[in-house]
Amino acid sequence: MGLTTEMQTRVIDLAELSAQGEFPAYAAIYCPDSGNPFALSPTVMRWGEGIFLSRLDTCRSFWLEQKKKLRCKLVELFDPLLRHHYGTDYVAVFGQHPWQCLLYLDYRLRHRTQGLYLLQGRLDRNIYKTLDWECWFNPQALLARHLQALNIRGFREDAFRARQAQMRRFIERIGVANPHEMHAADANSIQRRFGKWLGMIWRWSFTDCSELQSFPWVSLRQEPIPAVKRDLEYPVNQWSCIEVLLREDLERLCDQFKHDETQHINRMCWEITLFNQQRVTVDLSFRHPYSLHRDRPGFDTALYQARYIYDALMQQLQARDSDLDLPESMPFICWRIEVRERVMLAPLLWDLFAQQADEIDYQRVKALQNKLPLAFECYHADACFFPEQSFSAVAVGDFQQADFDHYPWSCGASNKPLFYYQSAQPIENPGRMQKFFLERNANQWWLGEDALQSIRDYFILKDRHGRSSWVYRTQDGAWFKQGEFC
Amino acid sequence: MFSNYNEWLCKTNFSFLQGASHPRDLIERACRLGYQSLCINDFDGAYGLARCYRELEYLKQQHRHNGLKLNYGAEIHLQRDHDLPLLLQDTLVLIAQNQQGYTNLNRLLSFAHRDGKDYANLPLEKLLNSSVDGLIAIQPMRGSIRSNQGIDRHAELKLLFDGRYFLAISRHLHPAEDRWIKTTLQQAADHGLEYVLSQDVFFHNRQQKCVSDLLQAIRCNRVFDQCREHLFPNAERCLHRADELQRLFSVIPGFKAALDLSEVLNQSCQFNLDQLGYQYPKEMIPAGHDAQSYLRQLVARGVRDKFGRQPSAKILGQLEHELSLIDRLNFADYFLTVWDIVSWARKQQILCQGRGSAANSSVCFVLGITSVNPAQFELLFERFVSMERGDPPDIDVDFEHERREEVIQYIYRRYGRERAAMVANVVTFRGKGALRAVGKALGADEKLLRQMSKIASSRYYRGTGTENIVLALKNDYEQQNPRANKISWQLWMRLSEKLHGFPRHLGIHSGGFMLSDKPLDRLLPQEPATMQGRSVIQWSKEDIEALGFFKIDVLSLGMLSAIRKCFDYVQHYYGQSLRLDSIPDDDKPTYAMIQKADTIGAFQIESRAQMSMLPRLKPACFYDLVIEVAIIRPGPIQGKVIHPFLARREGLEPVTYPDERLRPILERTLGIAIFQEQAMRIAIAVGNFSAGEANELRKKIGAWGIKDFNRDLNPLLQKLKQGMRQNDVKPEFAEQILGQMEGFAEYGFPESHAVSFSLIAYASCYLKCHFPAAFYISVLNSQPMGFYSPHALLQAARREGIRLLPISLNHSIWDHQLEQPPGQQSYAIRLGFRLVNGLAESSVQKIIIQRERAGGWSSFEQFTRDCELPRDELTLLSASDLFGEFGDSRSAALWQAEAAPYKPMLDSIEDGIDWRQETKLDSIRKDFRAFKTSLKQHPAEVIRREQWPYAVAVEKFTLSSRLAELSADTDVFVFGMVLVKQSPGTAKGMVFVTLEDEAGFINLAFTPQVYARFYRQVDQQPFLCVVGRLQRVNESHSILVKRVFDPDPNANLLALPKSRPRLASAISTELIKPRAFH
């Protein structure tokens, strides 16, 4: 059963906060689908798959101001916001310490309840006291991974795991049902017995909300949207001038990226500000896998689109403003080109026409690629006995020489036809027609029920016109055509 | 042309996880197809050779061998490349032409295993410097040919083998494989090599291709889709018909010359396994003697020791008869070897006793190998050794289980590693293991496999066959995952059945030793065993028996350790010196105890079935005990002889004989056949069996392991049935005997074996009767052994009035010991530290040394100051509540113990934690976790009195001690802790559960229908609450369960909290630990 159907929605009224005069310092948020992590705060840490921590105390004033301005309760402020960004399946825990938020979030996820929870609230605080040991230990796996990744001095994951095991053993022996039963133990006592890190976690969990030392916080960097802006020194409406400047800006935009073949800019937004402060936004796009970088140095494709848009725009403006005493056409005073779509892509075309990338005939590629509905492909040997499955399509750039020693059966490929049928066509028994035996195959019998049924004998069948087909016969004597030779 | 085909490359499934057919299937198919010869060459060993030899011998007996000749060889890896796909592994096939070649092959194979069992390999340099006289070599069209390595070494190998080096050409109808034909032909031409044609067989017919792929997937530990480079592209590596061979090979250039070469090579291979000459070691024979004369001398000395200076003429006559037979069969060496080992053990004060058919031999008795005087029980020597059979005798000797390794190492020292090795045990895929392996290959996830294991382990499904298990799994899976991916259940089921019985790897026999006067390499290869300090031959017990090699079984028996310890304790605490032979015969109090079934801890007669039989059989003499030991076995049970025997014994039924000819055979057992020997003698007397055939029947029945009933037993049983009909034996009796034979095939005792065991059973009962406290501590100090867990033994001791004292830091030692509490006459048992789970004996020794220095302790701090134990050990002691002795609670002690390495820091005041007080049940649970039992109240009592979680009123329940007061056929409610669960194969689906409450045992019986309804509760709950019909025969009771009650799920008393699931099973697994005797 999916999370959505089982979850019960519950939203705590954050008015409780005001009563207590406490504003939550952190929030742990789970959203099954990706959403903007910076919805609540610019200080965010990605904790795990679908889970991130937001630091709220840095923008406390902002949220309180918003509340005041909108004249709403905090809950009315946060809940719609969270719903908007993360959908209805989100789970968010607000509290004073990120670790406590994470512990409680784990509990809520395990109980499949969704919504917004506040650890300062009486109910959740009481539930927090009943968290069992699994709830306490579970989030430590991710914590250990973060500590290890940060290479924190004195932390070794294997030693930490050993300490965890020791503590688990102790708990089992002693029969303490949940961590709260041991709340009287201070962090130092835990540290003496089970090591520094479990002591620290104990401190985070129960004793001191202000203790953040050693918490492995790594802020998520907000990646700026790549863009270039041009403020014209004087208004311009001549295409010849615009073209030169635009080419220069596209070059600048390209330079913002290191030459990285894995990133292709496929769509840009050209936001033009006209003389009357009117803003016109137009798209400049490339058909995948062609891209801005491939358009260098002339940027013919991009500029061609820009010119087309420019012409249309000019006509439109002239028609609209013909009765006004305005310059010949509305000149441009500034523009901004912003990248809207980037594609992660393996190199595709380099090896298509030449071995070396330098020798690529870009003009031909350009001409071809923009006309084709699909990217170019080539074929790669696969570990499969069925001839028709012994090759698979890969991008041109990913092609590697087939390793026949590793997949020895693929060497029979030399007898494969040029054209394959999508699925084998049943044919009548060819009788006395000329047949040449090629091979016997037994493959993937485990997908059916009978191993023998998977055995096939392949032949080249020649008809009286001299045309050759690639056919096979199954064990029960049925014949199928699989492909045609030229 | 292909009608007399010689196949040179053939793997059986003893090429572990590589060959995909049983030797039997390969040999039978080769015979059927009319092959002239088949050469078996398993990878890196001679593992399958003896099996193939046996199969061909069998077919010869059946006149179905069609003139097939076996050639013997092995395919040796020249590199450590075993993990590569089969076709790429660099190997060479060596085939023995004669005895010398076979010896050389064994030497090379033993060398290849120099670094262990796995990754055997023979570097080319080593091969080039080895003697290869009598060997021919064939390079398969795999490995080096494909990697072109062969080109470099063809010349060297040609020179080494002096022209007996050949290439093999195979054709498998696939371009991937057949493209190497051209290369091979070219290499043959370049180097002037000849070639033979071969199908390079890995399975006997095309249907086995799936098994071949399955084995590869198991070998690679991957699913099918992920190991395709290890699979053959088609099913052509099998044995083909002559017309198929013609079509396959007639396109190969020079195929006629290749066939002629095969013919010549076949003529040159003149070696057969029956040519192996085997001799027993002779070093124990002093100068001036031969084996026979020395044996005579030892026997004469033994007679004086056993019977004094005037032995009876009967004894002397019997000894003379045996000695002359031994002489004629040339078996004296064997008796001397066993005598030598037993004598050495006796000198080392290691208790030992021969068992099995050796107890038929007076020579063994006077040599001290066995303790049974055959004359006393009219046991036949011919059952052990006979002129007609000429089979080597098989002497099994039990040694104390804790000291058997000393005996094993003595044998290695005495005869040297090159002449002594342990016998192999072939570990095969069975039930759950086969299902798991197939499931993994098909891509089942770990969760599903665990679920399958759970179902297969359940008594409800155990032994019901693969089909039922898979169907149950399918139902569960599809209920829980309605939208899950489709799983090929049929395939899972079918492949598991095919895999059943396939060799998985080579293990080691429990105690079988093979000794030889010449190095074992002359006979077969050997390799290091996984267990440190042991080496093992590559053949199993059945293989070496078939070839007439001798072996001695150096077995271990826990009860011998217990008895030896008990003798020591009796000497120490009671000042009495006892030996096995000084225990008085026919001790009345002992028999009285046995009749009351107070036999917990005793040897053999302690199981529930035996205990329920004792009050009915009322053994009053030693032979009664022999019958008691033998009668609760599948043989007599399936023969349905138990009730008639009891009725005759109680005088309720007259003693009659189905045929007067059977009177001498059945007289001692009141006209009922109980022992294996009686069934054999009946077969001779009224079944038209010759002695040889009867012996064949005995061997077939006695062989353990997987039996092919239809092939091995059924023909003999049909013959017996026919013979009895011809002799006018009553059909009912014939049916009974046949049923019994089938039962014996499961497990049955020969009389001599029962006599040997009864001696130990009687000795254990005598000790239990007269020195119960000493007996219990000797059994407890010999754990693991026996049928009951330490908890059950201690509870039994307590019920017998023996006081139990807890483990004490100030008093206990490693072992349990006896202690006389102040002011008391009788001894109490002071529990030893050995009960504490995980505690090392060395730590206990440290504690004891420190205790002697300090004179004892009175506080935790004192103890930790004196004994600087590792924290783990200290926490184990704390978890066992041992610091309760000093007034510390278990929780407080554990909290302190966890800080033990930070002792200096503890000097500073640490805020104490107010630990929750343990409930009674909690405390008992923790005791069980820590030291396997609890001396507090019985948990069943605590639950009943304080935390009753069932909907049935607790007042309705009856204690075990009160069951005797109730009349039979009344309904009773009982509650107790599950102690033992049994579902013997002979019980037709009945399941027997023994519960324990504070007063004793409660015997439950579940019919298959009731068990089917409640099997989850029975299998999973550590306590059972049931209602059922009380059944009683004499003093024994049983409750035929009607319903099992579920505890209130919210009460959470019996199962531990869900957050700690491992604990939930702790009690049940700890308590349910019967150790079946084998």
For chain A, the domains span 3-129, 140-207, 227-344, 380-484
Tell if the CB–CB gap between B174 and A412 is shorter than 8 Å.
Answer: yes
What CA–CA distance (Å, rounded) separates B56 from B71?
12
Cα B604-B605-B610 angle, rounded to 5 deg: 125
Tokens 């590199």: give the residue. B79
Rounded CA Rg of chain B:
33
Complete DSSP assignment for B492-558: HHHHHHHHTT-EEEEEEEEEEEEE-SS-GGGT--EEE-SSTT-EEEEEEHHHHHHTT---EEEEEEH
Nearest residue on chain B to A182, alpha-carbon basis = B913
Task: Determine the Cα–Cα distance for residues B10 and B170; give it in Å rounded to an integer.
Answer: 12
A227-344: CATH superfamily: DNA polymerase, Y-family, little finger domain (3.30.1490.100)
Confidence grade of residue B869 (pLDDT, cut at 50, 70, 90)? confident
- Distance CA(B866)–CA(B861), nearest Å, equals 9
B207: nearest CB among A186, A443, A451 = A451
Q: Which residue has the tokens 């784990």?
A: A106
Give how far A174 is from chain B: nearest CA, Å: 5
Question: According to the model, what pLDDT value does residue A217 have?
Answer: 84
Tell me: pLDDT of B920 over 50. yes
Residue-level pLDDT at B702:
60
Q: What is the pLDDT of residues B231-265, one digit of tens each?
A: 898 899 999 999 999 999 999 999 999 999 999 99
For B463-498, what is each residue's pLDDT tens digit? 677 888 888 888 888 777 766 667 788 889 999 999
How are beta strands A391-395 and A419-427 bridged, if at all? Answer: unpaired
**pLDDT reported for residue A345:** 41
Out of B176, B206, B1062, name the one closest to residue A412 (CB).
Answer: B176
| B647 to B295, B616, B642, B659, B751: CA distances (angstroms) | 47, 10, 9, 20, 21
Cβ separation of B175 and A439 shorter than 8 Å?
Answer: yes
Q: What is the pLDDT of residue B908?
A: 59
Per-residue pLDDT band for B125 (boundaries 50, 70, 90) equals very high
- Checking if the pLDDT of A6 tops 50, the result is no
> Residue B201 has what DSSP assignment?
B
Instruction: Identify all chain A residues contacting B442, using CB atoms and an 8 Å cutoff.
Output: 446
pLDDT band for B1075, please (50, 70, 90 cuts): very low
Give which of B452, B446, B415, B416 is closest to B433, Cα–Cα. B452
User: Binning pLDDT at 50, 70 and 90, where does residue A450 land?
Assistant: low
Does residue B1062 surpass a pLDDT of 50? Answer: no
How far from B974 is each of B455, B964, B1044, CA to CA, in Å?
Answer: 27, 13, 10
- Return the pLDDT at B673: 83
Question: Could you tell me the end-to-end alpha-carbon distance of chain A, in angstroms, rounded to an integer?
Answer: 53
Nearest CA in chain A to B892: A174
Give the contacts of A78 (CB within 8 A, at least 6 positions apart): A14, A40, A92, A116
CA pair distance B366, B150, nearest whole angstrom = 63
> Is A261 an 8 Å CB contact of chain B?
no
Closest CA to B774 of B583, B571, B558, B588: B571
B674 HSE (CA, 13 A, CB side): 27
- For residue A440, which residues of chain B lie inside 8 Å, CB to CB? 172-174, 233-236
Q: Is the pLDDT of residue A248 over 70?
A: yes
Closest residue in B to A437 (Cα) is B173
CB B531 within 8 A of CB B570: no
CA distance B327 to chain A (A): 58
Cβ–Cβ gap B916/A181 under 8 Å? yes
Closest residue on chain A to B487 (Cα): A447
Contacts of B300 (CB under 8 A, 6+ apart): none
Task: Give chain B's mean pLDDT.
Answer: 87
Closest alpha carbon within chain B to A452: B207
Contacts of A416 in chain B (CB under 8 A): none
Q: Cβ separation of B174 and A440 shorter than 8 Å?
A: yes
At A355, the pLDDT band (50, 70, 90 cuts) reads very low
Q: Least CA distance to B914: which residue of chain A?
A: A184
Over residues B797-805, mean pLDDT: 93
| Least confident range of A451-465, B285-299, B306-320, B553-567 | A451-465
Q: Cβ contact (<8 Å) for B490 and A181?
A: no
- Interface confidence (ipTM) of the complex: 0.70
Residue A208 and residue B435: Cα distance in Å, rounded?
A: 53
A408 interfacial to chain B (CB closer than 8 Å): yes
Q: Measured between alpha carbons, how far is B9 from B47 in angstroms, rounded to an integer?
A: 15
Q: Would the CB atoms of A184 and B913 count as touching at under 8 Å?
A: yes
pLDDT-above-70 percentage for chain A = 72
pLDDT range class, residue B835, cuts 50, 70, 90: very high
- Contacts B228 to A, Cβ<8 Å: 383-385, 407
What does the DSSP assignment read for B575-606?
-----GGGSPTT-HHHHHHHHTT--TTSSSS-
Whether B141 and B200 have beta carbons less than 8 Å apart is answered as yes
Subunit contact B173:A439, Cβ cutoff 8 A: yes
As a whole number, mean pLDDT of residues A145-170 equals 89
Q: Is the pLDDT higher at B423 or at A44?
A: B423
Q: How many Cβ contacts (< 8 angstroms) between chains A and B?
A: 137
Predicted local distance difference test score (pLDDT) of residue A74: 72
Q: Is the pLDDT of residue A134 over 50?
A: yes
Give counts: helices (H), strands (E), chain B.
44, 22
Higher-confidence residue of A290 and B106: namely B106
Burial environment of residue B726 by CB neighbours within 10 A (0 to 12, 13 to 18, 19 or more): exposed
- Chain B residues in contact with A443 by the CB 8 A cut-off are 233
Assess whether pLDDT exceeds 80 at residue A367.
no
Contact assignment for A451 to B209 by CB distance below 8 Å: yes
In chain A, the residue whose alpha carbon lies closest to the alpha carbon of B223 is: A446
Q: How far is CA B395 from CA A31, A350, B356, B805, in A?
A: 73, 79, 7, 43
Of B225, B236, B910, the CB nearest to A440: B236
The class that CATH gives domain B291-420+510-557 is alpha beta
What is the reported pLDDT for A164?
A: 93
Distance from CA of B899 to the nearest CA of A (A): 5
Q: Is B895 in contact with A174 (Cβ distance < 8 A)?
A: yes
Phi, psi of B836, deg, nearest 5: -70, 120
Has domain B6-274 been given CATH number 3.20.20.140?
A: yes
Find which of A107, A189, A414 to mutate to test the B interface (most B CBs within 10 Å of its CB): A189
User: What digits encode the pLDDT tens for the residues B992-1021?
Assistant: 899 999 888 899 999 988 988 898 888 888
A385 in reach of chain B (CB within 8 A)? yes
Average pLDDT over residues A79-97: 86
Partner residue opposite A384 with nearest CB, options B228, B488, B899: B228
Helix H or strand E encompassing B994: strand B991-997
> Does the beta-carbon distance from A175 to B922 stay under 8 Å?
yes
Inform me whether the pLDDT recorded for B188 exceeds 80: yes
Task: Give the residue-averaged pLDDT of B77-97.
Answer: 93
Q: Which residue out of B207, B220, B230, B491 would a mutagenesis test of the A interface target, given it has the greatest number of A Cβ atoms within 10 Å?
A: B491
Lowest mean pLDDT among A408-417, B289-298, B410-419, B878-887: A408-417
> What are the structural domain ranges in chain B?
6-274, 291-420+510-557, 430-500, 578-764, 803-931, 939-1071
pLDDT of residue B602: 94
Interface of A with B in 81-140 (CB under 8 A): 132-134
Question: What is residue B767's predicted lDDT score, i.e. its pLDDT?
Answer: 96
User: Is the CB of residue A476 less than 8 Å away from at least one CB of chain B?
Assistant: no
**Per-residue pLDDT for B46 more than 60?**
yes
> Could you give the percent of chain B with pLDDT greater than 90?
49
Mean pLDDT of A63-92: 80
Predicted pLDDT at B1056: 36
Superfamily classification of domain B939-1071 = Nucleic acid-binding proteins (2.40.50.140)
Measured CA to CA in angstroms, residue B1065 lies from B369, B795, B1062, B1068 at distances of 45, 21, 6, 5
Burial B344-373 (b: 16+ CB within 10 A, else e): bbeeeebbbbbbbbbbbbbbbbbbbbbbbb
Mean pLDDT of B434-442: 93
